[in-house]
């Protein structure tokens, strides 16, 4: 049964599209085919917006490029019978363009979503102007005309069938991807990109690949549009069409491939039929869009039966071994300086450790404890000095590159994927460093387990009991436990634990300490622990670093630093 999950929507769509010409007539089928074409492009917008959390406002650019490239190549190649080259050209060039643009934009910042939307809007405006001005190729304002029919089809009858087949294929493909590890990663990225990067995922690459796929769908729709209409005008690249894609995605359901398609067909077809009868139809569509965004965020798809959770079919598969280095870990901060908004945070911090074991970092608020972790994981700029891990400088690297060097980080406030289930959160962490290439498209990783995961769940049985519960519904202590397990699952060589016992009762704190000590020994890792509870620091044991005003003030055992007059002058610590 598990292998059949997710096929219901494409199967129902196929049945409806097969019956449509028999239940209506060729003209209605011709009209519906046009909105199926628009629906395929709308699915691309919905993929980016509903699944990954960034909104492309200029998707008509790729629609129009696909139309001009396919239609123009068909016209040019008609005599040479090389029409079969037209489709790869029309699909791959827009997809490649989208990938390059997204990599450039998203590599700049994690929070470049609004800039990305504005950039895509500017791109479609430029495309529209270029299509008008480049009349030798595009036909200018009058458009590219006399585009031949798709070979072996007739525009007003049999062309419906390849269009319907493409709509079913795109819906089936996206539905399948949503239910694969890649779909889980898309959801995780939309909810908490910071956490995904800290697990070692190159999120800008994931977003760029998804945007390229969405552009490919838009280009496919544009190619079909060119042979369906026989003409392509600059309006095919215009902002108005881009806006309609967004409206259709919202009304149909931006998180559903079928919903996005139905949004384009239902709203688009209704607009074509009613626009001339009602003078204020566009106003009604605008109000409908606002109402859906406000009161029905999942669109028409939200009224359909709930989606089945990505379930375990009962087959447990061993996960591949985590990558490990054999040499003892070495970490050094050498005169590290960082600042934010002109405020000095770290002022020549020197710190070094070698080999496995737990070390604690203590000091008064504002001493630079969390900031030392931030500058190591790319969240603060390294202005001067060096951070060296195993002989390699890692200062200035992005968070995912640092994570791939064997660094795992637990944040001060528990950071999980709130709308994913506990099991999906654990899988995302388990896949880190283990899942490669085509694994993201296979179902097997959804059943992966590891001995470490089983051992950690024995320590936190409440996570096992609530494995299908959204992580956002867990208590503070359960979220702390979940994030700790997620940080440990990739089996990093260096653990950065920022107040893992915050918000826990004394009994929960002792349990968390026991788990951390055992897990660090189990994976043979080094751990840096930030903690204000001196009793927890004492229970952890190991060396203690005291920071003050962005510098190392003292170093040694807890008893030694507590006896240091310089430490006692600035910091007394606390106890629960």
Mark whether 457 and 521 lie in a shared domain.
yes
Higher pLDDT, 278 or 492: 492
Mark whether 397 and 298 lie in a shared domain.
no
Question: What is the pLDDT of the chain when averaged over all its residues?
Answer: 89
Nearest to 174 by CA among 93, 66, 249: 249
List the structure tokens of 500: 């893992």
308 assigned to some structural domain: no
Residue 248 φ then ψ, to 5°: -65, -40
Q: What is the pLDDT of residue 326?
A: 73
325 assigned to some structural domain: no
- In the chain, the percentage of residues whose pLDDT exceeds 70 is 93
Q: What is the pLDDT of residue 20?
A: 85
Query: Following CA atoms 179, 36, 287, 63 in sequence, which dihedral angle do they give, to the nearest 10 degrees?
Result: 90
**Domain stops at, among 303, 321, 353:** 303
Note the Cα 5 to chain centre separation in Å: 23
Mark whether 254 and 374 lie in a shared domain.
no
227 assigned to some structural domain: yes
List the structure tokens of 92: 């791959």
Host domain of residue 517: 330-570
Mark whether 270 and 350 lie in a shared domain.
no
**What's the rounded Cα separation, in Å, for the pair 171 and 475?**
37
Mark whether 344 and 445 lie in a shared domain.
yes
Higher pLDDT, 485 or 151: 485
Residue 393 φ then ψ, to 5°: -70, 125
- How does residue 2 score in pLDDT terms, banded at 50, 70 and 90? very low
Residue 156 has pLDDT above 80, yes or no: yes
What pTM, to 2 d.p., does this model score? 0.92
Mark whether 294 and 339 lie in a shared domain.
no
317 assigned to some structural domain: no
Higher pLDDT, 109 or 535: 535
Residue 135 has pLDDT above 70, yes or no: yes
Q: What is the pLDDT of residue 5?
A: 43
Mark whether 124 and 218 lie in a shared domain.
yes
Residue 10 has pLDDT above 60, yes or no: yes
Residue length, the chain?
A: 576
**Domain stops at, among 303, 338, 371:** 303
- How does residue 488 score in pLDDT terms, banded at 50, 70 and 90? very high
Average pLDDT of the residues in 194-221: 96
Q: What is the pLDDT of residues 365-395, one digit of tens each?
A: 889 999 999 999 999 999 999 999 999 999 9
- How does residue 3 score in pLDDT terms, banded at 50, 70 and 90? very low
CATH number at residue 469: 3.40.50.300
List the structure tokens of 422: 């506990």
81 assigned to some structural domain: yes
- How does residue 82 score in pLDDT terms, banded at 50, 70 and 90? low
The β-bridge relationship of strands 343-354 and 357-362 is unpaired
**What's the rounded Cα separation, in Å, for the pair 425 and 468?**
10
322 assigned to some structural domain: no
Mark whether 297 and 372 lie in a shared domain.
no
Mark whether 428 and 379 lie in a shared domain.
yes
Q: What is the pLDDT of residue 313?
A: 52
**Domain stops at, among 253, 285, 303:** 303
Average pLDDT of the residues in 214-220: 97
The residue ranges of DSSP E strands in 255-329, in sequence order, are 317-318
Mark whether 219 and 75 lie in a shared domain.
yes
Residue 271 has pLDDT above 80, yes or no: no
Mark whether 93 and 178 lie in a shared domain.
yes
Average pLDDT of the residues in 220-245: 94
Domain count within the chain: 2
Mark whether 69 and 130 lie in a shared domain.
yes
Higher pLDDT, 77 or 564: 564
323 assigned to some structural domain: no
Higher pLDDT, 243 or 277: 243
């Amino acid at each position: 049964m598990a292998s059949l999950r997710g096929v219901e929507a494409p199967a129902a769509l196929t049945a409806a599209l097969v019956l449509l010409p028999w239940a209506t007539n060729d003209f209605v089928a011709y009209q519906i085919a046009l909105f199926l074409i628009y629906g395929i492009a709308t699915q691309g917008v919905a993929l980016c917006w509903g699944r990954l959390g960034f909104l492309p406002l200029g998707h008509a650019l790729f629609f129009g490029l696909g139309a001009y490239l396919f239609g123009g190549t068909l016209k040019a190649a008609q005599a040479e019978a090389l029409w079969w080259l037209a489709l790869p050209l029309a699909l791959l060039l827009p997809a490649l363009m989208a990938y390059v643009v997204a990599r450039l934009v998203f590599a700049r910042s994690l929070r470049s979503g609004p800039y990305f939307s504005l950039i895509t809007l500017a791109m479609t405006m430029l495309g529209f102007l270029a299509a008008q001005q480049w009349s030798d190729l595009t036909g200018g304002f009058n458009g590219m005309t006399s585009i031949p029919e798709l070979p072996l089809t007739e525009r007003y009858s049999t062309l419906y069938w390849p269009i319907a087949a493409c709509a079913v294929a795109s819906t089936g493909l996206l539905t399948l991807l949503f239910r694969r590890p890649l779909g889980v990663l898309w959801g995780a990225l939309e909810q908490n990109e910071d956490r995904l990067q800290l697990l070692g995922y190159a999120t800008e690459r994931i977003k760029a690949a998804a945007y390229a796929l969405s552009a490919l769908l838009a280009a496919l729709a544009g190619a079909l549009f060119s042979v369906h209409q026989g003409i392509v005008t600059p309006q095919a690249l215009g902002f108005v069409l881009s806006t309609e894609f967004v409206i259709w995605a919202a009304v149909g359901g931006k998180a559903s491939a079928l919903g996005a398609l139905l949004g384009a067909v239902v709203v688009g077809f209704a607009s074509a039929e009613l626009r001339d009868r009602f003078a204020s139809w566009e106003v009604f569509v605008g109000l409908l869009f606002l109402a859906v965004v406000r009161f029905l965020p999942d669109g028409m798809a939200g009224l359909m039966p709930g989606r089945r959770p990505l379930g375990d079919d009962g087959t447990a598969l061993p996960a591949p071994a985590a990558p490990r280095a054999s040499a003892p870990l070495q970490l050094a901060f050498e005169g590290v300086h960082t600042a934010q908004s002109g405020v000095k945070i770290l002022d020549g911090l020197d710190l070094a450790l070698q080999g496995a074991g737990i070390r604690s970092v203590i000091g008064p608020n504002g001493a630079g404890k969390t900031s030392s972790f931030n500058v190591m994981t790319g969240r603060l700029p390294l202005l001067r000095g060096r951070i060296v891990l195993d002989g390699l400088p890692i200062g200035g690297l992005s968070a995912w590159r640092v994570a791939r060097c064997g660094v795992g980080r637990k944040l001060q406030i528990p950071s999980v994927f709130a709308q994913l289930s506990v099991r999906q959160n654990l899988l995302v962490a388990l896949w880190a460093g283990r899942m490669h290439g085509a694994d993201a498209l296979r179902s097997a990783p959804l059943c992966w387990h590891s001995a470490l995961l089983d051992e950690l769940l024995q320590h936190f049985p409440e996570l096992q009991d609530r494995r299908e519960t959204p992580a956002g519904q867990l208590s503070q202590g359960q979220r702390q436990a979940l994030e700790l397990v997620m940080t440990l699952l990739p089996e990093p060589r260096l653990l950065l634990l920022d107040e893992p016992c915050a918000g826990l009762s004394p009994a929960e704190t002792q349990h968390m300490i026991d788990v951390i000590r055992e897990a660090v020994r189990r994976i043979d890792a080094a751990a840096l622990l930030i903690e204000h509870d001196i009793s927890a620091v004492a229970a952890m044991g190991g060396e203690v670093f005291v920071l003050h005003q962005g510098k190392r003030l003292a170093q040694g055992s807890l008893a030694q630093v507590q006896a240091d007059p310089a430490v006692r002058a600035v910091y007394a610590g606390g106890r629960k």
